[in-house]
């Protein structure tokens, strides 16, 4: 499939998903022009705030392929990814993002993520969501153990 065909499939998923009770978002993960996985927004249907189209597509692709590193794959998404999805895309090591609508288009229909982007630039103590470091000396033990583990699988 061409890039345009893959994007059209993501857009088609976003339109179909509205009819199926979900949000107006769809995503496709592909490798060499072949669809590996698809995802749609199921936040309200599944009562899961992380069930965005991109995250669902990543979950489906990694489950289907039995890998956690999607290097060599691309994601086609009906809308520019939110901060959570963008983070997931980076963690999944996808090679490229193609998107249809942009974050301003999303903001115009009530999906405004700009406050999250703004919050990320602040120190934890200056964010609207109160944050406080707690039991650091105890928590660091897990990081020390990880750092010293010789047979760890890095990701």
- Distance in angstroms between the alpha carbons of the first and the last residue of the chain: 30
**Average pLDDT estimate for 7-11:** 98
Catalytic residue flag (residue 133): no
Provide mean pLDDT across the span 103-108.
96
Give kind and range of the element (H or E) at residue 74.
strand 74-79
Distance CA 38, CA 20 (A): 15
Out of 12, 54, 74, 144, pick the active-site residue. Answer: 54
128-143 residue pLDDT tens:
998 888 999 999 999 9
- pLDDT of residue 40 exceeding 90: yes
Retrieve residue 44's tokens.
């309200």
pLDDT confidence of residue 152: 87
pLDDT computed for residue 141 by the predictor: 95
Contact indicator for 28, 56 with CB cutoff of 8 Å: no
Q: Is the pTM of this model over 0.75?
A: yes
């Amino acid at each position: 499939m061409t890039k345009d065909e893959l994007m059209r499939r993501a857009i088609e998923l976003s339109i179909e998903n509205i009819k199926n009770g979900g949000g107006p978002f769809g995503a496709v993960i592909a490798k060499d022009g072949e669809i590996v996985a698809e995802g749609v927004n199921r936040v309200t249907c599944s009562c899961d705030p992380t069930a965005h189209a991109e995250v669902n597509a990543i979950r489906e692709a990694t489950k289907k392929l039995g890998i956690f590193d999607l290097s060599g794959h691309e994601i086609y998404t009906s809308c520019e990814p939110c901060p959570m999805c963008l983070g997931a895309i980076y963690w999944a090591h996808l090679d490229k993002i193609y998107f249809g609508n942009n974050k301003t288009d999303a903001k115009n229909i009530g999906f405004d993520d700009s406050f999250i982007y703004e919050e990320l630039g602040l120190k934890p103590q200056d964010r609207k969501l109160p944050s406080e470091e707690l039991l650091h000396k105890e928590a660091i033990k897990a990081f020390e153990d990880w750092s010293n583990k010789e047979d760890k699988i890095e990701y």
